[in-house]
């Protein structure tokens, strides 16, 4: 179970690619939809559950102490998660809004996690483990797919 949690975002990327590949629509729009579903949607709901239902355990896995701000982060993740689950069945303006919100949150989180690593030597698995790479790379991938579709 620890392996799955550690690599959860990468597993979601793989699932998105597989579902997009086997969908009945062209690859680029399918990939955008299913990356939003799995990364914004499923990962958003997963993060929301962690911050809302097990804040102490979640904070510890990030290398932090629990804080009332986790509740706010939990609800932000819940909102993005619900929107992400809806994404495959929505039009491009909805997807664009979700990409903007998702990118700001994930790049903001990446900034904070990297700053923690550099300034406080925080190498906790959910601070700068495998997840940090998807946190940095997912937004530009979504933007590239979006621009490919509107060109």
How far is residue 143's CA from residue 66's CA, in Å, rounded to a whole number? 33
Say if CB 81 and CB 42 are below 8 A apart.
Answer: yes
pLDDT above 90 (res 2): no
pLDDT band at 151 (very low <50, low <70, confident <90, very high): confident
Neighbours of 42 (CB within 10 A): 19
Domain range enclosing 88: 2-150
How far is residue 9's CA from residue 45's CA, in Å, rounded to a whole number? 12
Query: Each residue of 19-43: pLDDT tens digit?
Result: 999 999 999 999 999 999 999 999 9
- Alpha-carbon 28 to chain mean position: 19
Query: Each residue of 107-145: pLDDT tens digit?
Result: 999 999 999 999 999 999 999 999 999 999 999 999 999
Find, among 44, 37, 6, 46, the residue nearest to 127 by Cα: 6
Query: Each residue of 41-69: pLDDT tens digit?
Result: 999 999 999 999 999 999 999 999 999 99
Structure token digits, residue 93: 């303006």
Neighbours of 75 (CB within 10 A): 13
Question: What percentage of the chain has pLDDT greater than the value 70?
Answer: 100
Q: Domain total for the chain? A: 1
pTM of the full structure: 0.95
């Amino acid at each position: 179970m620890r392996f799955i949690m550690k690599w959860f975002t990468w597993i979601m990327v793989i699932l998105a690619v597989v579902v997009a590949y086997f969908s009945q629509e062209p690859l680029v729009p399918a990939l955008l939809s299913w990356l939003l579903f799995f990364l914004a949607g499923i990962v958003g709901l997963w993060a929301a559950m962690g911050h809302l239902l097990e804040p102490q355990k979640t904070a510890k896995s990030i290398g932090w102490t629990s804080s009332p701000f986790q509740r706010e982060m939990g609800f932000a993740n819940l909102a993005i998660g619900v929107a992400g689950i809806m994404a495959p069945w929505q039009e491009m303006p909805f997807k664009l809004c979700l990409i903007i919100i998702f990118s700001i949150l994930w790049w903001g989180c990446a900034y904070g996690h990297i700053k923690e690593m550099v300034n406080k030597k925080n190498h906790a698995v959910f601070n700068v483990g495998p997840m940090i790479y998807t946190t940095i790379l997912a937004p530009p991938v979504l933007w590239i797919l979006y621009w490919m579709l509107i060109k």
